[in-house]
């Protein structure tokens, strides 16, 4: 009995021991897997740090490089060699640095190593600071709905300026090919380059007759500079890529002075006349400029638009502002019809010498 009991106890001991060893073995395997995972993570981090260290060493070497020579790419021979013209004059066949990621094109400005003349970096195209001052970064808070009258002119402008930029696919589908339409010449060239880099873009030239006047013989040195600017504009207009997203529009009140070359096909293809507003347009303009004013119910904008016959949009805005000033002078918050009569007499008399008394003005249109 004692022997059988001892045998059973020994068997239980063996089983318990085996269970303990298996649990220990399982724990060691899990620990081994965990350590191997940590090892792989550390190895990956090591590789990452080595790559970063190489990058930092390369950047440090670049920072240690002294001043570079400015050169211009003349031709690209292959992926690693180019012909450059240094600022000192001679041309060299040189290698490209491994750090250059940009595409090298003829005409690009580059920085050259002083010793080997190797191309170390690509420099941005030089631009006059005055050109950047011509860029409008924020869209003006003015909409077509804020313009009274001129419906057909607005429709034409949207058709030739806005639509090709917003829906170029329509022109492609229909088969219409869009040809976008000294110191001054250099600024014009840089202005067009800036517009291309910011495309889609619109270049607007106000008072075009100042630089686009008809060319004549016997010009002075100042006239010749203006003509060089005009020639550069013509060259840029003819040189546009048909797929470009740059539009050119201009304004002038002296169409008769413009050089005929500006109005030839492929340049300024369409001339849109902005006439003086009609009676209905004058009333619409007055509604726009008085929309934020506290008007008396007795104000008759139709009668005021008749009073202001021959006035421009700027005249009507000045008239509305002056009517408000009459109310302010009398410490009123409401603008009466008489305020507009007084304002019309003052503004129109100053602009065209039409009348001097509001009673005379009212009698003309009653």
Q: pLDDT tens, 95-121? A: 887 767 777 777 788 888 777 778 877
The CATH number assigned to the domain holding 212 equals 3.40.50.300
Q: What is the domain-level CATH number for residue 288?
A: 1.10.8.60
Domain that holds residue 15: 1-64
Tell me what the mean pLDDT of segment 296-306 comes to.
87
Q: Is residue 293 part of a domain?
A: yes
User: Domains in the chain: how many in total?
Assistant: 4
Spatial strand order of the sheet with 119-122 comes to 91-95, 81-86, 69-76, 109-112, 119-122
pTM more than 0.85: no
Contact 87, 71 (CB under 8 A): yes
Q: Average pLDDT of the chain?
A: 75
Contact indicator for 118, 95 with CB cutoff of 8 Å: yes
Q: Are residues 285 and 178 in the same domain?
A: no
Q: Are both 58 and 81 inside the same structural domain?
A: no
| 91 shares a domain with 45 | no
Same domain, 17 and 77: no
> Cα angle at 41 between 38 and 46, to 5 degrees?
125
Residue owning tokens 């240690």? 64
Q: Are residues 26 and 81 in the same domain?
A: no
Task: State residue 198's pLDDT score.
Answer: 76
Q: Residue 260 has what pLDDT? A: 83
Mean pLDDT of 270-297: 85
Q: Is the dihedral of CA 60, 65, 67, 69 positive or negative?
A: negative
Q: Which residues contact 218 (CB under 8 A, 6 or more apart)?
A: none
Check pLDDT > 50 for residue 246.
yes
139 inside domain:
no
Do 306 and 360 belong together in one domain?
yes
3-state secondary structure of 249: strand
Pair (60, 12) in one structural domain? yes
C-alpha 4, offset from chain centre: 99
The domain boundary residue, chosen from 230, 263, 296: 263
- How far is C-alpha 62 from the geometric centre of its chain's CA atoms? 33
Domain membership of residue 183 (yes or no) is yes
The two beta strands, 91-95 and 109-112, are: unpaired
H or E element in which residue 30 lies: helix 2-64
């Amino acid at each position: 009995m004692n022997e059988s009991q001892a045998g059973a106890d020994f068997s239980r001991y063996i089983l318990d021991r085996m269970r303990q060893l298996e649990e220990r073995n399982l724990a060691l395997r899990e620990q081994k897997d965990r350590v191997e995972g940590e090892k792989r993570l550390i190895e990956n981090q090591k590789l990452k740090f080595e790559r970063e260290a190489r990058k930092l060493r390369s950047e440090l070497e670049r920072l240690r490089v002294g001043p570079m020579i400015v050169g211009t790419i003349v031709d690209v021979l292959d992926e690693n060699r180019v012909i450059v013209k240094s600022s000192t004059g001679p041309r060299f066949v040189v290698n490209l640095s491994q750090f250059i990621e940009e595409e090298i094109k003829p005409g690009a400005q580059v920085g050259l190593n002083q010793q080997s003349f190797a191309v170390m970096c690509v420099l941005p195209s030089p631009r006059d600071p005055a050109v950047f001052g011509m860029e409008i970064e924020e869209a003006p808070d003015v909409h077509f709905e804020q313009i009274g009258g001129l419906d057909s002119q607005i429709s034409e402008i949207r058709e030739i300026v806005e639509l090709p930029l917003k829906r170029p696919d329509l022109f492609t589908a229909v088969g219409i090919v869009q040809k976008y339409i000294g110191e001054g010449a250099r600024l014009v060239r840089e202005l067009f380059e800036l517009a291309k880099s910011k495309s889609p873009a619109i270049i607007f030239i106000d008072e075009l007759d100042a630089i686009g006047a008809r060319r004549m013989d016997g010009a002075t040195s100042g006239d010749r500079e203006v003509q060089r600017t005009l020639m550069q504009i013509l060259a840029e207009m003819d040189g546009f890529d048909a797929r470009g997203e740059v539009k050119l529009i201009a304004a002038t009140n002296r169409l008769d002075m413009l050089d005929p070359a500006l109005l030839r096909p492929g340049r300024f293809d369409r001339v849109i006349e902005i006439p003086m507003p009609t009676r209905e347009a004058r009333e619409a303009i007055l509604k726009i400029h008085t929309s934020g004013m506290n008007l008396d119910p007795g104000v008759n904008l139709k009668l005021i638009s008749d009073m202001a016959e021959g006035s421009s949009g700027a005249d009507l805005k000045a008239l509305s502002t002056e009517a408000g000033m009459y109310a302010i002078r009398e410490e009123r918050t409401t603008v009466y019809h008489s305020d507009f009569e007084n304002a019309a007499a003052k503004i129109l008399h100053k602009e065209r010498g039409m009348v001097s008394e509001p009673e005379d003005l009212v009698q003309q249109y009653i």
